[in-house]
Amino acid sequence: MNHPNEKQPFHQHLSGYAQQAKGTTGLSRIIKAAGYSRDGFLAAYRHEAAFRQVFWLNLILIVLLFFMPFSLLVKMVLLFASIFSLVVELFNTGLEAAIDHTSTKQHPLAKIGKDVGSAAQFLALCLLSVLWLMALFG
């Protein structure tokens, strides 16, 4: 066994399923990572109403974007804002799941964690709204 102060790849400190999942390299790792990402999207969509709402809102906005007479730069900014709000909602969903896994009891720190995730999504949606308003009326 290596000395605790020696540098080792992170996955060598793991055991069981975690070590097996992190131990792959190359194309195998990319394929597994893509599968985990798919699983994450599906879990968020199936189990989180807020994610479904943000998903459908942004899908509509992205489709609408193709028909709007905006410059390429404006379309790129609006597309970024849509994807950004989806990413924030995925983080928020993951944060809520981790907090709920830790304990379903009410705790002030759990409330802060969930509220901060919600606030992040609120800001992302405000950004999306302001950018769309600026594009439409600016």
| Residue numbers belonging to the annotated binding site | 29, 36, 48, 89, 96, 114-115, 118
Catalytic residue among 78, 89, 121, 124: 89
Nearest CA among 124, 138, 3 for reference residue 71: 138
89 annotated active-site:
yes
| Residue numbers belonging to the annotated binding site for substrate | 29, 89, 118
Which residues have CB under 8 Å from 96's CB, separation 6+? Answer: 48, 114, 117
C-beta neighbour count of 66 within 10 angstroms:
7
Residues involved in catalysis: 89
